[in-house]
Amino acid sequence: MLQHLFKLIWNKKGTHSLLMIEVWAAFMVLFGVLTLIVFNLRNYLQPIGFQYENVWNLELSSNQDTTEIAAKLQRALQRVKAYPEVTAASRMSSNTPFSANQIGNSVEYNKVNVGADFYYTDTELANVLDLPLKKGRWYAEGDLVGKFVPVVINQVMEDKLFQNESGLNKVVKRDDKTMYKIVGIVDKFKGKGKYMSDNPALFQMLEKSDRWNSNILIKTKPGTDAAFEARLVKEVAVMLPGWGVEVGYLKDSRKNRENLTLVPVLIFLIVSGFLLTNVALGLFGVLNLNIAKRKGEIGLRRAMGATEAKVTTQFLGEIWVLATFSLVIGLIFAIQFPLMNVFDLDKEIYLIAIFAAVVVIYIIVTLCAWFPSKQAARIHPAVALHEE
Amino acid sequence: MIKLQNIEKVYRTSSIETLALNNINLDVRKGEFVSIMGPSGCGKSTLLNIIGLLDAPSKGQIEIDGSPVERYTDKHLAELRNRKLGFIFQSFHLINDLSVIDNVEIPLLYRNTSAKQRRELAQEALEKVGLSNRMKHFPKQLSGGQKQRVAIARAIVGKPEIILADEPTGNLDSAMGNEILGILQKLNTDGATIVMVTHDEAMAKKTDRLVRLFDGTQVS
């Protein structure tokens, strides 16, 4: 029967070409959207790697003040740490977790070059974000006396840079002037939010004399309220006259950041939803028309021994065969993405998206063909034969 | 082989009730060639559809090989149509998108027959109607007579015991019509029971028995 259906559809390929193009286009769009969804979902299911609850970001801006910036920043840090509501505080570059800022650079080891997000921060960040270390330790003040700049990297960076070797205590090169010594390795650090992938990250020791990185991450005790926030802002503003002082919650930044990821996905979903609805309605209409035109054939098949169920199966089978032709063409295109490593995504993401798109297409065509096929089966054979 | 008792067929709409067949009694014996004649609209095709289990009578009983079929399920009726009956229609009812041989194979698709066996049986049937040289052609490439021969091959491919022909020569000229009748007579000689609906008195006279209908009633 399957061979018969393939023959029937193949012989009618000219008539069905537009329908096949429509199914193919729907598959391609669905594949794109599903790739995006699978990519984001896989990221979402991976742990973020740190704690952001009760962590505030105190953003200081020196504005016109140019004197003793580093010292003033250190004083502000000490003041913040002195509050009983604060359990830990750490200076950090402007690319704080979930912020839109990004600092990127690359490092080299044994001719392997890896690009990474660079975070400039002091010795306290691991405490503020509860960043667990997989190997080694977080850098300390004493590391600054060494020849190399102390850094901590994440696991994915270790994997990319050293493949099967351990990266601990290895020296890597940023440029001819800067060499880093890896003192510790953390597991994951998804600094751009749950929907983002765990990119290579490097935490570089920030010296007390640094005047450029003026964010302070503050871990507060649970239940610390807005009254403390107001007091903190007021007192720091008094300490640093003329400076800009702003406090944000990492929890809120995370939401904003994730919305920025979700909104395009939702837009794509809505657009593809419309497209799929159009395809479904088109298919439904074409199949209805097709069945109306083929009443004689239905009557003939019933006369030749087809049961109602077999007529239903035949029409469903035809649409499955038609969808299969379209999907084979679609797969030729889609399979290029994992083969050519497009966008440097994991092959598995593309393969899952392909599989899911194929399943969705078969479900849609089945739903669209079900009612017309049932209708076809219910046509009385004597009536169907008489109508041609 | 086929026994109809007190068959009545009424078509009902919301406002009209039409009596298409009234008290038809017919007994077709094995190996008989029976023709049903009558003017247009007298119920010939309705009667043939009822004999062919394509339509159910409003009243009366049908027996095939001594078994009443009223209570048969859709599956059982379909199997009976597939195994016991072969149909030939005035308008051929060939599927234009399938080649001649694929058209002939259709009844075998509804049996557990392998593709190879289907092909062999279809070739054999086409040889019987003299069309083995047109197997790869499509219906649009054939003349009316050739189309009807394909339809006959399709009707006999499953080796049914009964062939039901609804005006098989109605769309053909007389020479072609005679040729088709010749094939049917040969099938009858080979053992098939044939019930044929026709308008043509001359054709009907060449069969074993003639049943005449008028306004849904059997007149002879």
B55/chain A closest Cα distance in angstroms: 6
- Pair (A217, A358) in one structural domain: no
The confidence band for A134, taking pLDDT boundaries of 50, 70 and 90, is very high
Mutant choice from B48, B74, B99, B119 vs A, greatest count of A C-beta within 10 A: B74
Residue A13 touches partner B, C-beta closer than 8 Å: no
Among the listed residues A382, A383, A359, A369, the one whose alpha carbon sits nearest the alpha carbon of residue A313: A369
- Pair (A118, A213) in one structural domain: yes
Q: Taking 60 as the threshold, does the pLDDT of residue A237 lie above it?
A: yes
Q: Measured between alpha carbons, how far is B188 from B1 in angstroms, rounded to an integer?
A: 14
The residue behind tokens 């901590």 is A152
- For A324-352, write each residue's pLDDT tens digit: 999 999 999 999 999 998 988 889 999 99
- For A196-207, write each residue's pLDDT tens digit: 889 999 999 998
A278/chain B closest Cα distance in angstroms: 28
Residue A356 touches partner B, C-beta closer than 8 Å: no
- The minimal CB distance from B97 to the residues A11, A381, A386 is found for A11
- Pair (A117, A152) in one structural domain: yes
B102/A4 touch (CB, cutoff 8 Å), yes or no? yes
- Pair (A16, A83) in one structural domain: no
Domain ranges of chain B: 29-55+73-218
Mutant choice from B89, B92, B96, B114 vs A, greatest count of A C-beta within 10 A: B89
Q: In B, which residues are within 8 Å of A3 by CB distance?
A: 115
- For A96-122, write each residue's pLDDT tens digit: 999 999 999 999 999 999 999 999 999
- Pair (A164, A287) in one structural domain: no
- Whether B32 and B193 have beta carbons less than 8 Å apart is answered as yes
- The minimal CB distance from B97 to the residues A12, A299, A380 is found for A12
- Whether A30 and A272 have beta carbons less than 8 Å apart is answered as yes
Residue A16 touches partner B, C-beta closer than 8 Å: no
A303/B81 touch (CB, cutoff 8 Å), yes or no? yes
- Pair (A180, A277) in one structural domain: no
Report, as an integer, the average pLDDT of A10-16. 82
Q: Measured between alpha carbons, how far is B85 from B162 in angstroms, rounded to an integer?
A: 5
Residue of B nearest to A300 (CA): B93
Among the listed residues A214, A204, A206, A205, the one whose alpha carbon sits nearest the alpha carbon of residue A75: A214
Which pLDDT value is given to residue B176?
Answer: 85
Mean pLDDT of chain A: 91
Q: Tell me, yes or no, whether A56 lies in a domain.
A: no
Mean pLDDT of chain B: 92
Q: Measured between alpha carbons, how far is A13 from A112 in angstroms, rounded to an integer?
A: 52
Report, as an integer, the average pLDDT of A122-131. 95
B98/chain A closest Cα distance in angstroms: 6
What ipTM was estimated for this complex? 0.90
Among the listed residues A222, A216, A279, the one whose alpha carbon sits nearest the alpha carbon of residue A22: A279
Residue A313 touches partner B, C-beta closer than 8 Å: no
Q: Tell me, yes or no, whether A248 lies in a domain.
A: no
- Whether A76 and A234 have beta carbons less than 8 Å apart is answered as no
Q: In A, which residues are within 8 Å of B51 by CB distance?
A: none
- Whether A214 and A31 have beta carbons less than 8 Å apart is answered as no
Q: Tell me, yes or no, whether A101 lies in a domain.
A: yes
- Whether B167 and B175 have beta carbons less than 8 Å apart is answered as no
- For A213-232, write each residue's pLDDT tens digit: 999 999 999 999 899 999 99
Q: Give the end of a domain, one of A188, A213, A242.
A: A242
A318, two tokens: 């035809």
pTM of this structure:
0.77
Residue of A nearest to B73 (CA): A307
Q: Tell me, yes or no, whether A249 lies in a domain.
A: no
Residue of A nearest to B85 (CA): A304
Q: Measured between alpha carbons, how far is A253 from A260 in angstroms, rounded to an integer?
A: 11
A346, two tokens: 């994991």
Which pLDDT value is given to residue A388?
Answer: 56
Q: In B, which residues are within 8 Å of A297 by CB distance?
A: 93, 95
Please identify among residues 115-174 of chain A the ones whose CB lies closer than 8 Å to any CB of chain B: none
- The minimal CB distance from A1 to the residues B54, B78, B109 is found for B109
Mean pLDDT is lowest, of A55-59, A316-320, B168-172, for B168-172
The residue behind tokens 């190997």 is A135
Report, as an integer, the average pLDDT of A171-175. 93
Q: Taking 90 as the threshold, does the pLDDT of residue B15 lie above it?
A: no
Rounded percentage of chain A residues whose pLDDT exceeds 70: 99
- Pair (A150, A278) in one structural domain: no
- Whether A117 and A102 have beta carbons less than 8 Å apart is answered as yes
Number of domains in chain A: 2
Report, as an integer, the average pLDDT of A295-323. 91
Residue of A nearest to B114 (CA): A1
Higher pLDDT, A284 or A353: A353
- Sign for the pseudo-dihedral over CA of B155, B160, B164, B165: positive
Task: For chains A and B, count residue pairs whose Cβ atoms are closer than 8 Å.
Answer: 72
- For B178-188, write each residue's pLDDT tens digit: 888 999 999 99
Which pLDDT value is given to residue A102?
Answer: 93
Q: Taking 80 as the threshold, does the pLDDT of residue B202 lie above it?
A: yes
Which pLDDT value is given to residue A387?
Answer: 66
Mean pLDDT is lowest, of A13-17, A28-32, A83-87, A256-260, for A13-17
- Pair (A201, A70) in one structural domain: yes
Q: Measured between alpha carbons, how far is A48 from A354 in angstroms, rounded to an integer?
A: 27
A47, two tokens: 């742990």
Q: Measured between alpha carbons, how far is A303 from A377 in angstroms, rounded to an integer?
A: 12
- Pair (A227, A98) in one structural domain: yes
Report, as an integer, the average pLDDT of A71-86. 95
Which pLDDT value is given to residue A156?
Answer: 95
In single-letter form, the type of residue at position B54 comes to L
DSSP codes joined into one string, B173-199: -HHHHHHHHHHHHHHHHTT-EEEEEES
- Residue A57 phi/psi, 5-degree rounding, is -115, 110
Q: In B, which residues are within 8 Å of A299 by CB distance?
A: 54, 93
Q: In A, which residues are within 8 Å of B76 by CB distance?
A: none
- Pair (A274, A366) in one structural domain: yes
B183, two tokens: 């094939």
Q: Tell me, yes or no, whether A90 lies in a domain.
A: yes
- Whether A91 and A12 have beta carbons less than 8 Å apart is answered as no
Which pLDDT value is given to residue B175?
Answer: 86
Residue A80 is part of which domain span?
63-242
The confidence band for A293, taking pLDDT boundaries of 50, 70 and 90, is confident
Which pLDDT value is given to residue A372?
Answer: 87
- For A250-282, write each residue's pLDDT tens digit: 999 999 998 988 898 889 889 888 888 988 888
A379, two tokens: 């046509």
- For A299-311, write each residue's pLDDT tens digit: 999 999 999 999 9
Which pLDDT value is given to residue A166?
Answer: 93
> 3-state class of A111 per DSSP?
coil
- For B138-149, write each residue's pLDDT tens digit: 999 999 999 999
Among the listed residues A64, A57, A74, the one whose alpha carbon sits nearest the alpha carbon of residue A243: A64
Q: Strand order in B217-218's β-sheet?
A: B67-68, B59-64, B2-12, B17-28, B217-218, B209-214, B33-37, B193-198, B162-166, B85-89
Please tell me the CATH code under which domain B29-55+73-218 is placed. 3.40.50.300
Mutant choice from A307, A311, A378 vs B, greatest count of B C-beta within 10 A: A307
Q: What is the separation of C-alpha B36 from the centre of its chain, rounded to a whole number of angstroms?
A: 12
Residue of B nearest to A310 (CA): B110
Beta-bridge partners for B88: B165
- Whether A157 and A197 have beta carbons less than 8 Å apart is answered as no
Report, as an integer, the average pLDDT of B81-96. 92
- For A34-62, write each residue's pLDDT tens digit: 999 999 899 999 999 999 999 999 999 99
Q: Give the end of a domain, one of A213, A242, A271.
A: A242
- Pair (A127, A191) in one structural domain: yes
- The minimal CB distance from A304 to the residues B46, B74, B82 is found for B82
Residue of B nearest to A308 (CA): B74
Q: Tell me, yes or no, whether A250 lies in a domain.
A: no
Mean pLDDT is lowest, of A145-154, A223-232, B168-177, for B168-177
Residue A71 touches partner B, C-beta closer than 8 Å: no
Q: In B, which residues are within 8 Å of A298 by CB distance?
A: none
